[in-house]
Amino acid sequence: MSGALVIGGGLAGSAAALVLAEAGVPVRRLAAGPGATALTGGSIDVAAASPGVPHLPWRDPRSGEALPSRARLRILLSGASRHPYTTTFGAAGGEALAAAFERATERLAGWLRAEGIDLHGSLDRNLLLPSAQGTLRISDLALTGVASSDLGGCRKVTIVDVPGVEGWDARGCARTLASEIAALGLGPLPVEVVRARDDRFASGAGSPARIAARLDGAEGEGLLKAALEGLGGADELVLLPQVLGLVRTRALLASVSQGRPVGEALSFPPFALAGYRLTRALDRACAAAGVELLRGRAGRVLAAEGRLRVEPEQPGAFEALEPEGLVLATGRFVGGGLEAGPRGVHEPLLGLPVSDPDGRRVDGIPAHRSVRKGYANPQPLYAAGVSVDGALRPQPTAPAGVWAAGEWIGGFDPARERTGLGVALLTGIAAGERAARHVLGSNDSGQAPRGPA
């Protein structure tokens, strides 16, 4: 096979595949499943912050002014020496990193727009997004559905009580949200709970996904419109669980909003649909750009005589692939980029070393030996991954023509630092660009792959 192969079906892998395709490289994307991106809740955090979480500052300690992501990126670069942001942009500095994100964001917005999802926000303004639990997440980018529940500029929040929906407790959400608003000094911003007058749009469904499927249809849309009749007003948010359609979110939102903000709360699996929508849109964008989408799990990557060879885990599941350039965006444990088992923790495709942020190896060791007591402590296991150089080449021994992207890269803890999708976007695009230069360069010269550009 000529051209490039991307392994990984999340944001990092899809971004790399789209960049390659747009550069004119024949590209295939191999995915074993939907990946961790599909479990995300509706925001794409470049540099998330959280009130009360010391390692995620959101206010300037001296002036008390809220910090936008642009400033938070500078703080992040100054502290975390093995975070992929630092590895790739540490030398260039915060402004270069922010500029790279702005370019990346524009490209992602372009890919998603065509598939019915808009990307809202910027690095210069914080989005204040309520979760289904009523906690506030300070973010920079959010997807259609969640984005319109930004509390900035909002004068009142009406939380819609939809009875019997799993993961949705409107009164609980209201209690916590009111308390968070008070703690942050955002008031006066009243929060009230209103029982949906007509709950036929949701009745008997149970899970948000079932309601969303119902609302994708015209009848469901009509029922939701009726249920929201008379709620909210200009600058008065109507907050719902993540039920605004599996595939028609933008159209549905436009239809039911009627001059007032209607938004979804950030959610987590199994109640989050935003990640499903994002994954679906990325898959469709890939297909539209000419990326050949393959389903299957790679078993190992071999390199001999300057040629790469990707073999399936189950012999015969797919024909071995021999790409000129390879982007690995296989994720961590959820994605399968790292595995834990009888051989200890290991990286299955290349057998690369896996290191925690302090540079200690965690591969070859049982998983439980790389965790600490105390749930909230930094956990080496969950901040570990492969190491890369500034050009995203896996270290120290990966063959030429291989680049890394997303959470497969170690040095940061996506859960505690909340930069998982930010890293996926930045490194996915960067890895795709480098792989494209490599493949196009090697085609130009008509020679076997050289070292990466």
Partner 1 sequence: MSRVLPCDVLVIGGGINGTGIARDLALRGVSVALVERRELGSGTSWASSGMIHGGLRYLQQDPEVTHHSCLDSGAIQRIAPHLVFRIPFLMPVFSDDRIGPEIVEVGLEMYDAYQPLKNGRPHTRLTSAQARELEPMLSDRIECAFTLDEWGVDAGRLCIANALDAMAHGARVFTHTEAVEPLRSPGGRIEGARVRDTVTGETWQVEAALTMNAAGPWVPQVSEMMGELVRQRPGKGIHLVFERRVSNLAIYARGVDGRDMFTFPHEQNSMAGTTDDDYYGDLDRIEATEDEVAYVLEAMERSIPDIRRHRVTHTLQGVRPTLYGFGAYEDELSRDYEVIDHGAGGQAPGLFTITGGKLAAFRLMAEDAADRLCAELGNDAPCRTAELPLPGGEEPVDVAALARKAAISLPAALRLAFRHGARAGQVVGASDPVQSPARTICACEPVLDSELRHVARVEGVRKLSDCMLRVRLGLGACQGAGCTASAAGVLAEELGWDAERTIREVAEFAAQRWRAVAPVLDGAQVAAMEVHRSVHFGMIGMGGAVP
Nearer to partner 1, 33 or 222 (CB): 33
Of 30, 278, 310, 381, the one binding partner 1 by CB under 8 A? 381
Nearer to partner 1, 38 or 321 (CB): 38
Distance CA 360, CA 94 (A): 27
Nearest Cα to Cα of residue 137 among 244, 226, 58, 72:
58
From residue 34 to residue 53, the character string flagging contacts with partner 1 as x (rule: CB under 8 A) and all else as - is --x--x-x--------xxxx
- CB neighbours of 101 closer than 8 A, spacing ≥ 6? 46, 73, 123, 422, 425, 426
Tokens for 425, please give them: 């976007």
Q: Does residue 273 bind partner 1 (CB under 8 A)?
A: no
Of 368, 396, 444, 445, the one binding partner 1 by CB under 8 A? 368
Cβ of residue 55: shortest distance to partner 1, in angstroms?
8
Distance CA 379, CA 372 (A): 6
Of 66, 178, 189, 247, the one binding partner 1 by CB under 8 A? 178
Cβ of residue 174: shortest distance to partner 1, in angstroms?
10
10 Å Cβ neighbour count for 365? 17
Q: Does residue 415 bind partner 1 (CB under 8 A)?
A: yes
Q: Which of residues 51-110 bind partner 1 (CB under 8 A)?
A: 51-56
Residue where the block lists tokens 């969950």: 382
Cβ of residue 451: shortest distance to partner 1, in angstroms?
34
Q: Does residue 391 bind partner 1 (CB under 8 A)?
A: no
Of 369, 397, 448, 450, the one binding partner 1 by CB under 8 A? 369
Amino acid at residue number 393: R
272 contacts 131 by C-beta, under 8 angstroms: no
Q: Does residue 195 bind partner 1 (CB under 8 A)?
A: yes
Cβ of residue 54: shortest distance to partner 1, in angstroms?
7
DSSP sequence for 422-433: HHHHHHHHHHHH
Of 82, 346, 418, 434, the one binding partner 1 by CB under 8 A? 418
Of 28, 82, 137, 248, the one binding partner 1 by CB under 8 A? 137
Distance CA 171, CA 138 (A): 22
Q: Does residue 169 bind partner 1 (CB under 8 A)?
A: yes
Cβ of residue 370: shortest distance to partner 1, in angstroms?
9
Nearer to partner 1, 318 or 333 (CB): 333
Q: Which stretch binds partner 1 (CB under 8 A): 98-106, 152-160, 313-321, 333-341?
A: 333-341
Distance CA 444, CA 273 (A): 44
Of 83, 332, 346, 393, the one binding partner 1 by CB under 8 A? 332
Q: Which of residues 297-326 bind partner 1 (CB under 8 A)?
A: none
Cβ of residue 340: shortest distance to partner 1, in angstroms?
4
Cβ of residue 138: shortest distance to partner 1, in angstroms?
10
Distance CA 362, CA 289 (A): 38
Q: Which stretch binds partner 1 (CB under 8 A): 15-23, 69-77, 141-149, 373-381?
A: 373-381
Distance CA 13, CA 32 (A): 12
Span between the terminal Cα atoms of the chain, in Å: 21
Q: Which stretch binds partner 1 (CB under 8 A): 62-70, 235-243, 286-294, 327-335?
A: 327-335
Interstrand relation of 191-195 and 156-161 (parallel, antiparallel or unpaired): parallel
For residue 64, give Cα distances in angstroms to 58, 77, 182, 186, 216.
9, 21, 16, 14, 44
Q: Does residue 268 bind partner 1 (CB under 8 A)?
A: yes
Interstrand relation of 339-341 and 344-346 (parallel, antiparallel or unpaired): antiparallel
User: Across the strands, what pairs with 310?
Assistant: 301, 321
For residue 161, give Cα distances in angstroms to 151, 199, 221, 226, 228.
19, 9, 18, 15, 11
Please state the separation of Cα 29 from the chain's center in Å: 18
Q: Does residue 126 bind partner 1 (CB under 8 A)?
A: no
Nearer to partner 1, 170 or 430 (CB): 170
DSSP sequence for 89-105: HTTT-HHHHHHHHHHHH
Q: Which stretch binds partner 1 (CB under 8 A): 78-86, 140-148, 360-368, 445-453?
A: 360-368
Count of residues binding partner 1 (CB under 8 A)?
64
Q: Which stretch binds partner 1 (CB under 8 A): 78-86, 277-285, 298-306, 412-420?
A: 412-420
Of 185, 259, 374, 396, the one binding partner 1 by CB under 8 A? 374
In 381-417, which positions are buried (b, 16+ CB within 10 angstroms) versus exposed (e)?
A: bbbbbbbbeeebbbeeebbbbbbbbbbbbbbbbbebb
Q: Does residue 145 bind partner 1 (CB under 8 A)?
A: no
Contact residues for partner 1, defined by CB under 8 A: 36, 39, 41, 50-56, 131-137, 161, 163-167, 169, 171-173, 175-176, 178-180, 195, 206, 266-271, 332-334, 340-342, 345, 366-369, 371, 373-376, 379, 381-382, 414-416, 418, 420
